[in-house]
Structure 1
């Protein structure tokens, strides 16, 4: 299988060794992956034939591991920035720790690529972190959509990843008390889709200013709207495409 090019501005390709998830917080309410999985199931896509609990998941979105997908990155010759599990959460309780280790091993054995892993399940991430070997080409992130889940940032700080990052998307409220100590990168963005919840200018400026005060690279992904690009990407008259270190996409 060829790598999947993506429209996500802060990465290049996606790789889904697991698919499926369950909603765990308000940031999941309008999950794009859940909607897409239903469509992919109807199209007959092999990875999306396992249904999840209708209370928290949906058609084609049951958590499923795909061991055959572990071979894909070895076939990518040129270096790529890879978002791991755009259609799942690697630290979901239904993903066996052994399979997480398998994914980490692939990452370690393909150092030409840079891998970005993002989770909302920071408690499990913290719990199993010392049971994993952490490759230097793995960036670990947590989603932080509101002040109610700032504890995820504390959990991330306990993880020995080479790069720790936050995805504040969809940003649903102000993050006035965020502590960016030992955080290497912050992404922020508004929600998109027919039921999108608008992001306030003050929220975006607040996280941008916190990053500038802490010397943390800031990436503003989008304002959101009915479509991802409906309201553009500029914040205060400019694009914010900062990345950790010298890496630029």
Structure 2
């Protein structure tokens, strides 16, 4: 991984499940473990994190670093509409940082989009998740026409065979990232499905990264159950990436 430091910025917390990839959501699991309601959506105490300063006036997060945004929610969640203008304003102010947004609600991308967004701010990358074929076929046509400079497709958790070929040529994302599902009740990630997506990316001239195996990994007819610390390292050992892994956030 590059040396640039990574940070997580959760301006709000809480979400609602909207598709099969949400079934084993880690936010819901962690909230339930702590007796919290994961569907109680609210601003967090770290809302202003990007612009917080030290006593000497310097930003707490120095220029050039990365902020993975809304990992405990969805940036385009309906219940966050009232706060998104302010969040966009903070992102605009810190054009010296690199923001990474991942969403399952790409159809809501243009809700309250900043007036100066144009073809996209150069310091913002947007990724949409497509965990199965219905999600790919509904989300990627929307994603393809949106004014975003840096686009990434997340096939995570990968829940079955996935044909991205009809979408890759017109979309031309920076890369496609594939990963299995982690945590209790994880559904299997099949290596054959991972390789098939890699081949589609090679044919389309799109970068590919295998991010993690997931907790239940099926390869050559054998099922492997992997603890969390090994899921990323085993994916890297496969050595099937066709481009450097993009900035996709902590495993």
Give the structure-2-normalised TM-score: 0.77
How far off is 1:201 after superposition? Answer: 1.3
Q: Counterpart of 2:139 in 1: which secondary structure?
A: helix
TM-score (norm 1): 0.78
Q: 1:149 to 1:115 in 2, by over 3 A?
A: same
In structure 2, the partner of 1:23 is: 17
Structure 2 CA distance for partners of 1:236 and 1:174, relative to 1, 3 Å: farther
Shift of residue 213, structure 1, vs aligned partner = 1.8
Of 31, 40, 64, 1:62 maps to 40
Q: How far apart, CA to CA, are the structure 2 residues paired with 1:11 and 1:182?
A: 27
Unpaired segments ≥5 residues, structure 2 = 52-59, 216-225
2:76 match:
91
How many residues in Structure 1 have an aligned counterpart in Structure 2?
219
Residue 77 and residue 139 in structure 1: after superposition, are their counterparts in 2 closer, same or farther (change >3 A)? Answer: same
Question: Are the aligned partners of 2:201 and 2:208 in contact in 1 as well (CA < 8 Å)?
Answer: yes
Q: After superposition, where does 1:212-231 map in structure 2 within 5 Å?
A: 212-225=202-215, 227-231=227-231
Mapped to 1, the partners of 2:5 and 2:15 lie a distance apart of: 21
Tell me how far 1:177 sits from its aligned partner.
4.1
Counterparts of 1:138 and 1:83, CA distance in 2: 10
Listed as ranges, the matches of 1:1-249 within 5 Å are 12-39=6-33, 41-42=34-35, 59-66=37-44, 68-74=45-51, 75-96=60-81, 98-126=82-110, 129=113, 133=117, 134-150=120-136, 151-178=138-165, 179-180=167-168, 181-225=171-215, 227-231=227-231, 232-234=233-235, 237-238=238-239, 240=241, 242-243=244-245
Q: 123-132 or 69-78: which moved more? A: 123-132
Q: Which runs of 5+ in 1 are unaligned?
A: 1-9, 43-48, 50-58
- In structure 2, what is the Cα distance between the partners aligned to 1:16 and 1:159? 24
Query: Which stretch of the first structure deviates more once superposed, 167-176 or 132-141?
Result: 132-141
> How much has 1:189 moved relative to structure 2?
0.2
Larger Rg belongs to: 2
Q: Is the 8 A contact 1:81 1:114 kept in 2?
A: yes
Does the 8 Å contact 1:190/1:224 carry over to 2?
yes
